[in-house]
């Protein structure tokens, strides 16, 4: 049976991981390759690298980094952050990324999703949505959550899937950073109504939260950053916990 | 030993190259018929669409070449599907090495099936030298919308709504639907076994 996936997310700036990662058993916690390989070894099912570099050198640094990751990491990984064209994606896939994620650029020009799906196949096109609940519904936010739109997250997700997105990475801004659990309602709505996998993101604080999002919201995968980086939850222990409670998990 | 990765208009070739690299083997990426014929091992990878891939192979006469190879050949993902007889993906006639039909996953009436299947699934009924020291029920990474039906050539089975071929084997032709190059240690073991054939 297809398993639920546990996905650590690494934020990258100028080729280095940001956020205070602290592991005794690696030499350089700022090195995305070393950290990624460690997570792979610990049982992560996939990795997401989110590039938040804003400089002009970004593209070159990122493609070099992707090549280094692909060389050393033997599980699939997604690269996101500032991707806005077929050419950007081509470079990253050629460098060895398995999937790419698009967010603001796809919202501003939805045809990008069609173009990417046609050129590279839906399986490598992940649509990332940042969403916030207000005035009774979940709305799409852009530019890393700074810009509000009037479009509902579900409507945009549905359109993007029709255009060829192969997976949805849904981050609830209400939950992100709270450690109070994932947004079960909107995650469940997307997961149960769209025929592509949904990755839940934002709010993971305990192992029970992962259980909830898999069992009660039917998420296909769950993504988290700081709880893994700060070792508040070990991936192995999390997988054991889920497995013992009947969730399909890879060991 | 010379290991060749067939170059054609399909993705993930780099990942296969890197996976070989991690095993200390240099994979040469080429579409040169002579180089392919002369190799000790041939890997036929792929993520892409069947009809355009077949057209590319036919234009370069690689279709006949691949079918006629005598050394161990490993098809991966789309590579495996192209080694079958026919694919429902744009009604494509494929290489016909395996007399097997490639079909699209169908949602059951009462359940929404997510297509493509993306993620880790277990493989059972492992019956091939390429699975030596790979335990039953090992998890492999799959990304696909089409599958090879069960057949006498099936040497590993996976379930996604239905049981289908996770791997096929006939004479010197080996094929896996999943991505060994992305399937952590167990996937690496399969590549290692293939390279030792």
CA-based nearest residue in chain A for residue B188: A74
HEC string of A68-92 equals: HHHHHCCCCEEEECCCCCHHHHHHH
pLDDT of the residue at A49 = 95
| Angstrom distance (rounded) from CA B12 to CA B87 | 20
| Angstrom distance (rounded) from CA A235 to CA A222 | 12
Residues in A touching B179 (Cβ below 8 Å): 76
- Over its length of 197 residues, how does chain B's per-residue pLDDT go in tens digits? 899 999 987 767 889 999 999 999 999 999 999 999 999 999 999 888 899 899 999 999 999 999 999 999 999 999 999 999 999 999 999 999 999 999 999 988 777 889 889 999 999 999 999 999 999 999 999 999 999 999 999 999 999 999 999 999 999 999 999 999 999 999 999 999 999 99
Q: Which of A1, A71, A124 lies nearest to residue B18, judging by beta carbons? A: A71
pLDDT of the residue at A57 = 72
Closest CA to A217 of A185, A171, A180: A185
Mean pLDDT of the region A181-187:
98
CA distance B98 to chain A (A): 25
Q: Which residues of A are catalytic?
A: 11, 130
The answer to whether residue A25 scores a pLDDT higher than 70 is no
Q: Are the Cβ atoms of A74 and B188 closer than 8 angstroms?
A: yes
Model confidence band, residue A53 (pLDDT cutoffs 50, 70, 90): confident
Query: How many other CB atoms are there within 10 angstroms of residue A106's CB atom?
Result: 25
Residues in A touching B159 (Cβ below 8 Å): 1
Q: Are the Cβ atoms of B14 and A221 closer than 8 angstroms?
A: no
Mean pLDDT of the region A188-202:
96
Q: Are the Cβ atoms of A98 and B121 closer than 8 angstroms?
A: no
The answer to whether residue A172 scores a pLDDT higher than 80 is yes
Q: Are the Cβ atoms of B116 and A70 closer than 8 angstroms?
A: no
Sign of the CA dihedral with B129 first, then B130, B134, and B140 last:
negative
pLDDT of the residue at A31 = 86
pLDDT of the residue at A20 = 45
| Angstrom distance (rounded) from CA B74 to CA B45 | 8
pLDDT of the residue at A24 = 52
| Angstrom distance (rounded) from CA A115 to CA A185 | 31
User: What domains does chain B contain, in order, with CATH numbers?
Assistant: 3-196 (3.40.50.880)
Report helix, strand and coil shares of chain B as percent, to nearest 5: 30, 30, 40
Q: Choose the catalytic residue: B84, B179, B186, B192.
A: B179
CA distance B92 to chain A (A): 17
Residues in A touching B191 (Cβ below 8 Å): none
Q: Are the Cβ atoms of A192 and B117 closer than 8 angstroms?
A: no
Q: Which of B107, B122, B183 lies nearest to residue A1, judging by beta carbons? A: B122
pLDDT of the residue at A236 = 96
Q: Are the Cβ atoms of B47 and A121 closer than 8 angstroms?
A: yes
Lowest-confidence range among A45-49, A158-162, A196-200, A223-227? A223-227
Q: Which helix (H) or strand (E) holds A64?
A: helix A58-72
Catalytic residue check, B94: no
Biggest alpha carbon–alpha carbon distance for chain A: 48
A70-87 confidence digits (pLDDT tens): 999 999 999 999 899 999
The pTM of the full predicted model, rounded to 2 decimals, is 0.94
Q: Which of B11, B21, B159 lies nearest to residue A71, judging by beta carbons? A: B21
Whether A88 and A67 have beta carbons less than 8 Å apart is answered as no
Phi, psi of B170 (to 5 degrees): -150, 120
Q: How many helices and strands (H and E) does chain A possess?
A: 10, 11
Average pLDDT score over chain A:
92
A9-22 confidence digits (pLDDT tens): 998 988 888 864 44
Q: Beta A125-134 vs A99-102: how paired, if at all?
A: parallel
Catalytic residue check, B84: no
pLDDT of the residue at A54 = 67
User: What domains does chain A contain, in order, with CATH numbers?
Assistant: 5-244 (3.20.20.70)
CA-based nearest residue in chain B for residue A41: B184
- Identify the residue with better confidence: B18 or A230: B18
Mean pLDDT of the region A190-215:
97
Q: What is the ipTM of this complex?
A: 0.91
Model confidence band, residue A52 (pLDDT cutoffs 50, 70, 90): confident
Mean pLDDT of the region A49-75:
87
Q: Are the Cβ atoms of A74 and B121 closer than 8 angstroms?
A: no
Q: Which residues of B touch A (CB under 8 A)?
A: 11-12, 14-15, 18-19, 21-22, 47-49, 107, 112-122, 139, 141-145, 159-160, 179, 181-185, 187-188
3-state SS class at A134: strand
């Amino acid at each position: 049976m297809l398993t639920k996936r546990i996905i650590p997310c690494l934020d990258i700036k100028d080729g280095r991981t940001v956020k205070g990662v602290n592991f005794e058993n690696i030499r350089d916690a700022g090195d995305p390759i070393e950290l990624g390989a460690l997570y792979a070894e610990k049982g992560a099912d996939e990795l997401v690298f989110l590039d938040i570099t804003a400089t002009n050198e970004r593209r070159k640094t990122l493609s070099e980094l992707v090549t280094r990751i692909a060389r050393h990491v033997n599980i699939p990984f997604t690269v996101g952050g500032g991707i806005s064209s077929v050419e950007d994606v081509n470079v990253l896939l050629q460098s060895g990324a398995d999937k790419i994620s698009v967010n603001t650029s796809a919202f501003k020009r939805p045809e990008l999703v069609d173009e990417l799906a046609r050129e590279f196949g839906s399986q490598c096109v992940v649509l990332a949505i940042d969403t916030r609940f207000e005035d009774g519904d979940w709305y799409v936010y852009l530019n890393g959550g700074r810009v509000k739109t009037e479009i509902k997250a579900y409507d945009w997700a549905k359109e993007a899937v029709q255009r060829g997105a192969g997976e949805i990475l849904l981050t609830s801004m209400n939950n992100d950073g709270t450690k109070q659990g994932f947004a079960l309602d909107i995650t469940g709505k997307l997961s149960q109504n769209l025929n592509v996998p949904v990755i839940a993101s934002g709010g993971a604080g305990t192992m029970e939260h992962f259980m909830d999002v898999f069992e009660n919201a039917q998420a296909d995968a769950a993504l988290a950053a700081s709880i893994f980086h700060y070792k508040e939850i070990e991936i192995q222990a999390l997988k054991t916990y889920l497995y013992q409670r009947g969730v399909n998990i890879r060991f | 030993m010379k290991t060749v990765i067939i170059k054609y208009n399909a993705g993930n070739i780099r990942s296969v190259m890197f996976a070989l690299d991690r095993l200390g083997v240099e994979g040469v990426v080429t579409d040169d018929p002579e180089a392919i014929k002369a190799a000790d091992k041939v890997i036929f990878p792929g993520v892409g669409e069947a009809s355009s891939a077949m057209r590319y192979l036919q234009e370069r006469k690689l279709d006949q070449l691949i079918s006629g190879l005598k050394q161990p050949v490993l098809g991966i993902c789309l590579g495996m599907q192209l080694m079958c007889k026919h694919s429902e993906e744009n009604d494509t006639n494929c290489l016909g090495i395996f007399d097997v039909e490639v079909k699209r996953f169908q949602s059951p009436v009462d359940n929404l099936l997510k297509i493509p299947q993306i993620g880790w699934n277990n493989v059972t009924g492992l019956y091939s030298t390429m699975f030596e020291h790979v335990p039953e029920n090992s998890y492999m990474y799959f990304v696909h919308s089409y599958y090879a039906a069960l057949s006498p050539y099936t040497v590993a089975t996976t379930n996604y709504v239905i049981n289908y071929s996770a791997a096929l084997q006939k004479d010197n032709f080996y094929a896996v639907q999943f991505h060994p190059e992305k399937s952590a240690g167990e996937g690496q073991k399969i590549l290692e076994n293939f390279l030792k054939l």
